[in-house]
Structure formats: structure tokens, C-alpha cells
Amino acid sequence: MKIAVDAMGGDHAPEEILFGVARAFDKGFVRPDEVLLVGHPERLEPWYAKVPVLRECEFRAATEDVAMGDSPVKVLRKPLSSIMVAMAAVKSGVAGAFISAGSTGSCVAAAWRVLGPLARVDRPGIAITFEGAKGPITILDVGANIHATPEHLLQYGVMGELFSRNVLGIEKPRVALLNIGEEEEKGNKLVKSTRELFETAKFAFVGNVEGNQLLVGKADVVVCEGFVGNVVLKVFEGVGHYFHDAVKGPMQDPASQQSPLGQVVRKVTQKLDYAEYGGAPLLGVDGLVMIMHGRSDRRAMANALRVSAQFVKADVNRQIRAALDADGRADGAAS
């Protein structure tokens, strides 16, 4: 099963995307025959000359452009854009997954239209997994849906729990709601209504968590609406950068690097670096779509291929679909 790669998406496309694909080959994450490159032939040509191994990948031409500022639905009228061409390849079964660092909104809109929802899901959500103090913590939605209802958030809880259990291997994931206080009566209208639904859900709901508790491991899955989630994701990224920039100078000294402090600093910097995560899955669509950061570099791209290959193997969607079918209801409530 191939992984389709959007060679045109992202701030540093096609250069960093293509070098990232080559890096994934070098690292042994995937083989060239496992990648389907999608992009503008003429604009990719110069890079093919520089990275000849790319010629070993299957290729599909995409000649329409999607701008980062485009309204998300605009992509639906561009069947020859790299996003739409790649989605079609996933839909037809030529590819088993799609990775893009292009406009998140466009990817979500195209996935929803072309691949369609997984049975009983009303809105897709993007899940990001951080390495917390005690294990991986999945936060969703981080930006697919900024008009969430309590029902959407409940479905994110269900999907996030299944993802955590089936992909991350957490036996009995604890699901929490991101709020501005732990107490039941805290929060805005959306969170309060959602809490009532969560109380009736089948998953292990452990109550509210606050922003300062995300990394401590009080919950394995944290649900929030897409605006808040996107801000959280980017604050983590910003603090990571800030920290990275601060220690960069002293960390150039090999003695510092190898000191116990240097080793810890390197580990923390890595944990807060989004490029290590290699993209975030769009849960709730009938196909595997990985959304990458717009500023992704070759390292992020290579990691996205590594993670996607794992996801293809784990067959996440089949598991989610099976669990939703077994539950009988998409909202995870006892039926």
C-alpha cells in the first residue's frame, strides 16, 4: 500500500518535502515503491535531477495551485490540485494514506468531500500526540473544526480513545475535557454541555484537566474544540522554539552536550519539537490523512512517512469503524 505525498504543500515545498521523502528512504522508514508523489511536473523536475531516487516513486501530476490563504472549500473546485489528486488516489485505493503540509482547512474539506465520513461521525478532528511525563497524551481537535458542538466533542472523545487504545497501545485510556478549572461547574457553555454528555459516555471519563496538567499524565486523551486546541498546539511549539533558541549557543559545546544536563536538555527540546511528531492524523474520515505543520522541514516530512507507515499497518480506521459499529452509536453512549 502506497503513501501519497503532497509535494506542493507547505511553506518549504517542494524542496523540503522532496528532501524529506529521500531522507525517509535513507532512514529506512519507507521504500521508494511505497511512495506516490503528487505535484506539478515542471516544478518538481529540477529537484528530481538533484534527488534521482525520487524517480523510483510512482508519480501523479497536479497542475492547479492551492494557496494557504484560500478559503478551505475552494480546493473542491480544483480537481487538479495536489490535494484533490492525492485524495482521489486514496479514494480509489491506489494509496492507503495521504500526507500534506498544505493548508489544513483545504485538506480537511477535501478529505471530507472525497473520502467522506467514517460511519456515524459528524465532523472530523485532528489529533496530536505529545510525549508527556508518563507516556503519550493525545489532544483533539487541534484545528479541523472551529464550530464544534457538544456532540462533535463527544465523537472526538470516542475516536481519541480508540486511537489511544489501538494505535498507541494504551490499555484503558482515560479521557478528559480541557477546561479552565477542575471543578464541574467551571467553564464556558460548550464545555459545560459537553461534560454532561461525557458523563454518559462509555469511555473512561476522568473529568476536567487544565492547561498546566496536559503533560503530567492525568489523562491519556484530552478533548477540546479546534480553536482552543490549535492555540494549545502552537503554544507548545512556540515554547519549544523559544527554549531551543535559548540553549542553542551553549549546546554547541560538545562538553555541555554530553553532560547530564545537556542530555536532559536535548531530550526536552526533542519532546517539544513538532518536527519529531511527523504530522497529526485527521480522525473521522474514511481514509488515512496526515496533516503536517505548514512550516515542516525535511526532518518533519521524513518522520511523517515513518508514522504514516505505522498507521497504515495498524489500520486505525478499520479499528475505529469496528469499534463504532460495536458500540452501535457514534457518540459512544451506552445504547
Q: Which residues of the shown chain bind its own copies in the complex (CB under 8 A)?
A: 68-69, 71, 133, 143, 146-147, 178, 180, 183, 185, 187-188, 191, 210-216, 224, 226-228, 230-239, 241-243, 245-247, 249-251, 253, 256, 259-265, 267-268, 272
Q: Cell 497542475 identifies what position?
A: 63
Nearer to its own copies, 193 or 213 (CB): 213
CB of 246 to its own copies, least distance (A): 5
CB of 73 to its own copies, least distance (A): 12
Nearer to its own copies, 27 or 267 (CB): 267
CB of 294 to its own copies, least distance (A): 9
CB of 152 to its own copies, least distance (A): 14
**Residue 129, helix vs strand vs coil:** strand
Nearer to its own copies, 18 or 178 (CB): 178
Cα–Cα distance between 40 and 51 in angstroms, integer?
16
- Which strands, in side-by-side order, build the sheet including 280-283? 58-61, 35-39, 2-6, 95-100, 288-291, 280-283, 125-131, 136-140, 221-223, 174-178, 204-209
Nearer to its own copies, 125 or 226 (CB): 226
Nearer to its own copies, 8 or 139 (CB): 139
Q: What angle do CA 98, 231, 104 make, to 5 degrees?
A: 25
CB 24, CB 8: distance < 8 Å: no
**Rounded to whole angstroms, what are the CA distances from 53 to 17, 47, 56?**
14, 10, 6
CB of 243 to its own copies, least distance (A): 6
Between helix 260-271 and helix 226-251 the angle, nearest 10°, is: 150
CB of 109 to its own copies, least distance (A): 14
Q: Give the count of beta carbons closer than 10 Å to the beta carbon of residue 103.
A: 24
Nearer to its own copies, 48 or 227 (CB): 227
Cα–Cα distance between 171 and 32 in angstroms, integer?
35
